[in-house]
Amino acid sequence: MGKNAANLGASLDALRALLGDRLATARAVRDHHAHDIAYHPPMAPDAVAFPQSTEEVAEILKICSAHATPVVPFGTGTGVEGGINAVQGGVCVDLGRMDAILSVNPADMDATVQAGVTRNALNRHLRDTGLFFPVDPGADASLGGMASTRASGTTAVRYGTMRENVLALTVVLADGRVIKTANRARKSSAGYDLTRLFVGSEGTLGIVTEVTLRLHGIPEASLAAVCPFPSFAQAVESVIVTIQSGIPVARIEFVDEVVMRAMNLYSGTAYPEEPHLFLEFQGGEAEVRAQAEKVQAIAAEHGGKGFEWATREEDRNRLWKARHDVAHAVKVLRPGAGLYSGDVCVPIARLAECVARTRADLDGSFLISGITGHVGDGNFHAIFLVDPDDPKDMAEVNRLNDAMVRRALAMGGTCTGEHGVGQGKMKFMRAEHGEAVAVMRQIKQALDPQGILNPGKVLPA
């Protein structure tokens, strides 16, 4: 396992013969592929390959397999747990040139794309079909990357995550074999669910080259709303009642008082500096009004008195732009600082307690931080403002983040709701999964016996 200078040379020679100038070894290209947006030490691959087809990826894997060369798949580099850093060097496979939309089937409400297509590119392409792809992790990530990290975001409460929205994958295995994990049937009981096995496997079991996705109808009407609450606990209680009532809210986002202050400063809004819920309703005209009225009533019963609607598209967009700009907004609280994003998910009954205890913990720190959450899923993020070059800041953020994860695990939650394991969450895998980690490792060993696929990620040594 691992890299070996002679083997690597042979590998690169063979790859150069295959790809010509689509194999790059220039320092700048390698450095660009050495890290994502997190603060794990950059680790450059020895070369970056730019394949244009599944067949080329299969050839690359055959070569790397023959020489035991590590292979790291790369989408847009917008991950946050160091999942694409080449910790053992080797070849980075950048799927960015595999950006073809292969088919759209409006009647079946699905589309098949090459792994490098981004979600915004797909949605632009779909514009005239009346359909859209709803999963929205914030960044304009590639759909192969989103599948690989089991991404989700603000709309998961209504539309699910990549787990629910990937119908099938084309995957190249460590030895270069190509499989399709499923066909386009909406459901099947025909054997093991390989689709779900590869979704979220972060390139450690195979390289995703094509993705078949569920599409959804663009709703007839949308209505956004925002509501302050005296406490996070009351906001969460109203969310629990809303979901139990079966109201299919499209988005239910929490923003804490620190982030609201930043939002007002950055976006020029004048919201009270209190915990807020941001909501979106989608459906027929009458339905969305009915939904919003019900949620308004539920909110009022839980102390949410300032429920404000936005039906006009410009008001709705302004509201959601303010929410989406949070990552930029919080930087006004410490100009020049970098962001570090924590990510846990707990059963919703424990969410209020988990957030309250996390907020109290964060309040005791010298670091400035805010909390946002996809509250309908029990998923929340602590956003820390740090100087990544200051060891004191980094030690403190790691301490706070570790405590947040341990707290979530103790409440029956997970160490990552949507960011993935990468390098950052490996240390929590045993605490979360126990013996199941050994099962994951058996599967890894069966499918990648040399350990060439994205080594040093997901599974602790």
What residues numbered 241-260 form the site for a copy of itself, per CB under 8 A? Answer: 243-246, 248
By CB under 8 A, tell whether 199 contacts a copy of itself. Answer: yes
By CB under 8 A, tell whether 43 contacts a copy of itself. Answer: no
Helices (H), 127-281: 143-149, 156-159, 162-165, 194-198, 232-244, 257-267
Task: Select from 8-16, 28-36, 216-224, 227-235 the region that touches a copy of itself (CB under 8 A).
Answer: 216-224
Cα–Cα distance measured from residue 8 to residue 195, given in angstroms and rounded to the nearest whole number: 31
Tell me which residues in 46-65 interact with a copy of itself (CB under 8 A): none
Choose between 121 and 218: whose C-beta lies nearer to a copy of itself: 218
Task: Select from 36-44, 58-66, 114-122, 343-351 the region that touches a copy of itself (CB under 8 A).
Answer: 343-351
DSSP 41: P
By CB under 8 A, tell whether 290 contacts a copy of itself. Answer: yes
Cα–Cα distance measured from residue 219 to residue 448, given in angstroms and rounded to the nearest whole number: 43
Tell me which residues in 358-387 interact with a copy of itself (CB under 8 A): 377-379
Q: Which helix (H) or strand (E) holds 291?
A: helix 285-301
Among 13, 31, 284, 328, binds a copy of itself (CB under 8 A): 284
Tokens of residue 328, six digits: 């930029």
Task: Select from 4-12, 70-78, 187-195, 323-331 the region that touches a copy of itself (CB under 8 A).
Answer: 187-195
The closest alpha carbon to 307, from 379, 234, 375, belongs to 234
Among 21, 27, 28, 192, binds a copy of itself (CB under 8 A): 192
Tokens of residue 15, six digits: 């790859």
Cα–Cα distance measured from residue 58 to residue 209, given in angstroms and rounded to the nearest whole number: 10
By CB under 8 A, tell whether 205 contacts a copy of itself. Answer: yes
By CB under 8 A, tell whether 10 contacts a copy of itself. Answer: no
Tell me which residues in 87-126 interact with a copy of itself (CB under 8 A): 105-110
Among 286, 297, 313, 317, binds a copy of itself (CB under 8 A): 286
The closest alpha carbon to 345, from 372, 376, 377, belongs to 377
Among 55, 140, 193, 301, binds a copy of itself (CB under 8 A): 193
By CB under 8 A, tell whether 79 contacts a copy of itself. Answer: no
- Smallest gap, in angstroms, from Cβ of residue 27 to a copy of itself? 32
SS3 4: coil
Residue 224 phi/psi, 5-degree rounding, is -105, 155
Task: Select from 3-11, 48-56, 161-169, 315-323 the region that touches a copy of itself (CB under 8 A).
Answer: 161-169
Is the CB of residue 74 less than 8 Å from the CB of residue 95? yes
Cα–Cα distance measured from residue 148 to residue 459, given in angstroms and rounded to the nearest whole number: 15
CA distance readout (Å), 305 to 161, 272, 295, 384: 31, 12, 12, 30
By CB under 8 A, tell whether 138 contacts a copy of itself. Answer: no
By CB under 8 A, tell whether 156 contacts a copy of itself. Answer: yes
Is the CB of residue 133 less than 8 Å from the CB of residue 126? yes
Q: Which residue has the tokens 């925002």?
A: 226
By CB under 8 A, tell whether 349 contacts a copy of itself. Answer: yes
By CB under 8 A, tell whether 174 contacts a copy of itself. Answer: no
Choose between 147 and 397: whose C-beta lies nearer to a copy of itself: 147
